[in-house]
């Protein structure tokens, strides 16, 4: 097995609907510019309240991806 | 911009259905007696098991609200 | 089972005698003005030293109680 | 009330569909060999990404159960 | 020495000028409705950035006060 | 000196009387089925409140024991 | 409200004068190459001592910015 | 992909020679009675000192293994 | 009020009888060589088990004392 | 002394041989595309087990480097 | 480069004026009896409140210094 | 068994060769002036990078020793 190196970045995904959508939105956005995404880890779950309701879910997550030639 | 002050309280919401409902229940209950709720943050997610199933989701969260005249 | 909501507050109980008395003092005091106390959790145990002896035990604890109509 | 003793074990549940299913799968699996499951607590939420999507939710949780005669 | 009981609340003070002003603003606001404030502890220091500058310091702090007759 | 291997398990002991009894109860119970118990570490101290009094101390602890032939 | 995605990076700002200048220096530097900076959070405050005086304040902070088209 | 469930146990490996041997000894011992070991994570590194030298490395680690039919 | 400086040291007190005696033993021992002890804080509570019983309580604590002329 | 600014990134290095090689591999890889690497800090040490042996060491580390003109 | 050894001690500096002065006071006091002070790290920021104002800033910090011949 | 008291100090060992040598260097240095060293615990592992290589390993560790007559 090769000695792969991964980079871990931190993202904050948001969603007006659900906690899981906030995570998916962040991963979807990261996929536009980064290849080889491999795993994620939820760091914190929070949200904004407006008019006595959850207006926005905010999930901070770490995302790891395998490095090829650019860091 | 004014120098607003916020208070942060800790609540434990529960729900027999889902994790997110436990959060919504807590925020809904807090809205009955507190105005200006602004944000929440999940502190811990737990639950009760009965008859080999999740009988109750319990989510401990912090909720922040803007202070007006009463603390 | 109903979807109960609880509030969690933080207290610092003190006692000149023992660690457990500091906890009991805090719960006893909270019971004067709050109903439906359900659980506590020790956050930190500390104390003051005077004349080379423990003059005061200080225990910081979280106390949870069921919300009825007032937050 | 008796002085019950509980044991707490750590499990990692996975699911290809949702975060909550990962938790339910772990509790369901534990119920096959352990009796008296009482509570759970989420320790960490992570997941695997394949082809720019969440391929697997992984939730690490602690599960507590009452001890009878076997530890 | 009496066995005093203290309550600890969490506040978020803000200021457009300095970190210390955010703390002072929170304590000043708390003093309007609470007596016997005794100590504070900084929990987190953050802020908002606008137009490439710090527009608002936000300091989350815990404040302890001695309980008399109301909790 | 040999290269011993230890296993660490997590228990929640309870007691209606004192914090230390909750710890002793857990260790006593573990001794029924496990040999070679060597050390413990308190992870969390909590309790249930009923009728404005501590009805049950709950102490979560880790217990380490030397492994012989069974894991 | 749109479902914005943010990235969070970690910086270490330094200053020979004050703690707040170390933070401002880091944000000012980040603004040269990153747009849409929105918030920061202090992770750690440290410093170098030379000749019995603080020669350099070092503040490690996280900075969040809204993602547009480049990650 | 199936929805696998894993169990995570905590071990303390020791070695008179090196830190890595302490880890290997623990994994080797666990392999005698547990199948399907998949990953480990170092929780703490400590050791005993005798006669001014490191007499024993002690590494506490978590080890995860896939569950088949026994928990 | 003067600008006092305090030093904080870490001790591990032990006792064959109770948790509180372990703390008192540490403070008593520290008082032999240090003046102006002011406060303590419990960092960790652990113990040794022998013959299925607690043979020794071990409490790690921080102790603060006012500095006069020697550090 | 100038007021330097540093950026801190998170990497996961792996190695089939040793823990230290996993760290060196990550730093070596980072050096290909980043200049001015100054320090690292180990965040977590883990690994994969295959056939009852450590098949891969995985070390997550933070790496700091001085910023010149590009962030 | 030599293999230097450093010692890290914990101090609590106080000041009636500012947070930074509390840090400087602690370092200044440490310099009277310790040579080769090299770095400090803020562990906790707190303070005393009197008459609704901050009467004393208290900053707990770690200070590292190079060891020569005395520990 | 006697009620021994231990003191715990914090050291930072460095080495140009390996992580374990950094630990051994710190313990060796501590042994010159302190008797009765009993255990150590790794608090943090870091290092300096120069010319794209690890120039110095830095390991912060706690070291415990039994107190006799001097603190």
Tens of pLDDT along F39-64?
Answer: 999 999 999 999 999 999 999 999 99
Q: How far apart, in whole angstroms, are the C-alpha atoms of residue B41 and residue B63?
A: 7
| Residue I6 forms contact with C (CB below 8 Å) | no
Extract the tokens encoding G22: 């170390």
pLDDT surpasses 50 at C71:
no
From first CA to last CA, the distance across chain D in angstroms is 21
What tokens were used for B41? 């943050």
Domains of chain B and any CATH numbers: 6-66 (3.30.1660.10)
Check: CB of residue A7 under 8 Å from CB of residue A1: no
Q: Which of J1, J4, J5, J43 is the mutation pick for testing G, counting most G CBs within 10 A? A: J5
- G49 part of contact set with chain A, CB < 8 Å: no
| Count of pairs with CB atoms under 8 A, one residue in A, one in G | 44
Q: Which residue has the higher pLDDT, I39 or J69?
A: I39
Instruction: List average pLDDT for each run of 10 residues in chain J, which is 71 residues long.
Output: 86 97 97 95 98 97 86 44
**Residues of chain G positioned with their CB less than 8 A from the CB of A32:** 69, 71
Distance CA L44, CA L37 (A): 20
Q: What is the pLDDT of residues F5-18, one digit of tens each?
A: 999 999 999 999 99
Tell me the pLDDT of chain F averaged across its residues: 93
Q: Which two tokens stand for residue G55?
A: 């020669």
pLDDT computed for residue I3 by the predictor: 73
Q: Residue A3 is nearest to which of J15, J32, J60, comparing CB atoms?
A: J15
**Cα I30 to chain center, whole Å?**
7
Q: Is the ipTM of this complex over 0.90?
A: yes
- Measured between CB atoms, does D26 come within 8 Å of chain H? yes
Going J32 to J33 to J37 to J41, the CA torsion angle's sign is: negative
What average pLDDT does this structure show over C20-46? 97
- B8-62 confidence digits (pLDDT tens): 999 999 999 999 999 999 999 999 999 999 999 999 999 999 999 999 999 999 9
Q: Nearest 5°: phi and psi at D47?
A: -175, 165
pLDDT at residue D69 in the model: 54
Query: Taking a C-beta distance cutoff of 8 angstroms, is the pair J8, J64 a contact?
Result: yes
Is the CB of B4 inside 8 Å of chain E's CB atoms? yes
pLDDT band for position A1 (cuts 50, 70, 90) = very low
Kindly identify which residue of chain G lies nearest to residue K23, measuring between CA atoms. G54
| pLDDT for res A68 | 78
Q: What is the DSSP letter of D68?
A: S
d(CA L14, CA L22): 4
| Tens of pLDDT, residues D24-70 | 999 999 999 999 999 999 999 999 999 999 999 999 999 999 997 54
Quick one: pLDDT at residue I71? Answer: 45
3-state secondary structure of G24: helix
Of the candidates B23, J3, B64, the residue with the CA atom closest to the CA atom of residue E11: B64
Q: Is A8 helix (H, G, I), strand (E, B) or coil?
A: strand
Residue K24's SS3 state is helix
Query: Cα angle vertex I14, ends I8, I19, to 5°?
Result: 95
pLDDT score for C56:
97
- The model's confidence at residue I45, banded by pLDDT at 50, 70 and 90, is very high
Predicted local confidence at residue K3, as pLDDT: 73
pLDDT over 80 (residue B69): no
Task: Identify the band that residue G61 occupies on the pLDDT scale cut at 50, 70 and 90.
Answer: very high
How far is the C-alpha of L4 from the C-alpha of K61, rounded, in Å?
29
Binary contact (E29, B62; C-beta < 8 A): no
Q: How confident is the model at residue D71 (pLDDT cuts 50, 70, 90)?
A: very low
* CA gap C10, C8 in Å, rounded: 7
Q: Distance (Å) from the C-alpha of residue L19 to the closest C-alpha of chain J?
A: 8
Looking at residue G1, its pLDDT comes to 44
Judged by a CB distance cut-off of 8 A, whether residue F12 touches chain C is: no
At E1, the pLDDT band (50, 70, 90 cuts) reads very low
Q: Residue K1: pLDDT above 80?
A: no
First to last CA, chain I: 21
What mean pLDDT do residues E13-31 have?
97
Q: From residue G49, give the alpha-carbon distance in Å to each of E50, G56, K5, K30, K36.
A: 33, 7, 16, 11, 9
- Locus of tokens 């409705």: E33
Residue E67, token pair as written in the block: 């309980």
Nearest to I37 among C19, C44, C49 (CB): C49
β-strand pairing of G5-15 with G53-66: antiparallel
Confidence (pLDDT) at G37:
97
Give the residue among L56, L66, L68, L23 at the shortest CA–CA distance from L41. Answer: L23
| Residue A43: per-residue pLDDT | 98
Distance CA(K1)–CA(K51), nearest Å, equals 54
**Residue K15: predicted pLDDT:** 97
Indicate yes or no: CB of L19 within 8 angstroms of CB of H19: yes
L-chain CB neighbours of J39 within 8 Å are 46-49
Average pLDDT of every residue of chain K: 93
Residues 6+ apart with CB under 8 A from C47: C54, C55, C56, C57, C58, I39, I40
G71 contacts A30? CB cut-off 8 A: yes
- How many Å lie between the alpha carbon of I18 and the closest alpha carbon of chain C? 12
């Amino acid at each position: 097995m090769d000695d792969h190196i991964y980079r871990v970045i931190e993202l904050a995904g948001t969603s007006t609907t659900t906690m899981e959508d906030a995570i998916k939105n962040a991963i979807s956005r990261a996929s536009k510019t980064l290849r080889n995404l491999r795993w994620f880890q939820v760091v914190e779950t929070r949200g904004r309240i407006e008019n006595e309701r959850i207006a926005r879910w905010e999930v901070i997550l770490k995302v790891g991806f395998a490095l090829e030639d650019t860091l």
